[in-house]
């Protein structure tokens, strides 16, 4: 994924987030282009996007999401999003995504996830929202995640 494509995706992520929350994604006070670079490369929280395919794939992951899950960007972009949760948590994950589909956004979610090495970890105070194209069509889901240190 090239820099321009990542920044286009980040603009779409933020526009959709703002649609649901009336706020911009949390960042330091910096200029717009630096803001996008910060979200992509320096954010302390992970940002992930999955598409709406029958078997959804990740189509974006910022640097922090890559660190949290242990995947390179190339690996993320070829990974079905269901692999982010352990097999025993798939039904919970499906229910969570169904809520997002109907409500548009889910704030404050917690859940068990699995990294590339198969190690389980907890997400705390996460947010998931429908990703909306410029034409108003839902084209996927975006997530803001923080790994619990406990």
Instruction: Provide the 10 A C-beta neighbour count for residue 116.
Output: 14
Each of the 150 residues of the chain gets a pLDDT tens digit; together they read 556 888 889 999 999 999 999 998 988 887 766 888 999 999 999 999 999 999 999 999 999 999 999 999 999 999 999 999 999 999 998 998 999 999 999 999 888 999 999 999 999 889 999 999 989 999 999 999 998 764
| Residues 107/127, Cβ–Cβ less than 8 Å | yes
Residue 127, domain extent: 3-147
Domain CATH number, residue 47: 3.30.450.20
Taking every pair of C-alpha atoms in the chain, what is the biggest distance, in angstroms? 43
Per the structure, the count of domains in the chain is 1
């Amino acid at each position: 994924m090239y820099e321009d494509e990542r920044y286009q995706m980040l603009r779409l992520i933020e526009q959709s987030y703002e649609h649901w929350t009336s706020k911009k994604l949390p960042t330091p006070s910096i200029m717009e282009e630096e803001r996008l670079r910060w979200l992509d490369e320096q954010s302390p929280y992970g940002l992930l996007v999955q598409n709406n395919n029958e078997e959804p794939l990740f189509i974006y992951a910022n640097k922090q999401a890559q660190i949290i899950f242990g995947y390179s960007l190339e690996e993320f972009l070829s990974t079905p999003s269901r692999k982010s949760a352990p097999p025993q948590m798939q039904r919970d994950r499906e229910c969570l995504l169904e809520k997002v589909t109907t409500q548009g956004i889910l704030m404050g979610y917690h859940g068990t996830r699995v990294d590339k090495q198969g190690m389980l970890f907890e997400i705390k105070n996460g947010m998931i929202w429908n990703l909306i194209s410029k034409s108003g069509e839902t084209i996927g889901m975006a997530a803001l995640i923080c790994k619990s240190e406990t």
